[in-house]
Structure 1
Amino acid sequence: MIDSNFVILYVNNPQVSTKFYESLLEKQPVESSPTFAMFILPCGMKLGLWSKHTVEPAAQGCAGNGELVFPADSNEQVDALYSLWRNNGLDILQQPVEMDFGYTFLALDPDGHRLRVYRLSME
């Protein structure tokens, strides 16, 4: 079976996006250049930020067609991250709400990539 542990987001300005994700993830990238940066998350997943102007072959489509998802341990953690992200100026598309899968909110990064925080329902 094949496995994956690496997600790449195409970004307009890797330096701006790197600063954004440094703050969001509270960590430094393990690799950084003018056209690419990579973070390694505590779970081992890699997050790459690649300039949409230099990716080859050229990327089609636009941001917002998927989500980078962050699990939370409690509804209170969802609310705390919502407050932190809102206070740090992130665009919020969905305020904390209970949905069929759990308690969640949705924000955007500078390129319009969707960032979802959720607490899975235990029912």
Structure 2
Amino acid sequence: MPNFSFVLLYVENPPASAGFYADLLGRPVIETSPTFAMLPLTDGVMLGLWSRQTVEPAATSQSGASEVAFTVKDAAAVEATFADWKRRGLTIIQQPQRMDFGHTFVAVDPDGHRLRVFAPEAA
């Protein structure tokens, strides 16, 4: 079975998006060009940021049609991340709340990609 290795987001400006994610996640940008940038996430998984205008085949959906999710330890960590991201000026589209799967909130990046932070419900 192939290994999961990339999350690719189609963005307007890969270098600018790389700067946004490097600052937000505290990860280094390891590759950048006018049409593509890449950051390591965790366990060999990379975040690729590809120019919406040059991706092949051409993208057919808009930003916000899916989510990138980040798991944190507990509800207090959700609240702390929410406060941090709000202070950084991210647009929040869902305030922190408890849902069936745990405590969560959703922000969007400059391209409108949904970024969900959540602490899973205890089993």
Deviation of the 1:27 alpha carbon: 1.7
Percent identity over the alignment? Answer: 50
Equivalent residue number for residue 25 of structure 2: 25
Q: Provide the alpha-carbon RMSD of the alignment.
A: 1.0
Give secondary structure in 2 for the equivalent of 1:48: strand
Q: CA deviation at 1:2?
A: 3.2
Secondary structure of the 1:39 match is: strand
* Match status 1:93 vs 2:93: yes
Q: In structure 2, how many angstroms separate the alpha carbons of the residues matched to 1:33 and 1:2?
A: 27
Residues in 2 aligned to 1:2 and 1:54: alpha-carbon distance in whole angstroms: 26
- Alignment partner, residue 51 of structure 2: 51
- Shift in Å, 1:81: 0.5
Q: Which segments of 5 or more consecutive residues in structure 2 lack a partner in the other structure? A: none
What's 1:60 paired with? 60
- CA distances 1:9-45 after superposition (whole Å, capped 9, x unpaired): 0001112211110111112211111110011113321
Where has structure 1 moved over 4 Å in runs of 4 or more? none
Alignment of structure 1 residues 1-123 onto 2, 5 Å: 1-123=1-123
Count of paired positions: 123
Kindly indicate whether the alpha-carbon contact (under 8 Å) linking 2:40 and 2:46 is maintained by their aligned counterparts in 1: yes
Amino acid in structure 1 at the alignment position of 2:18? T
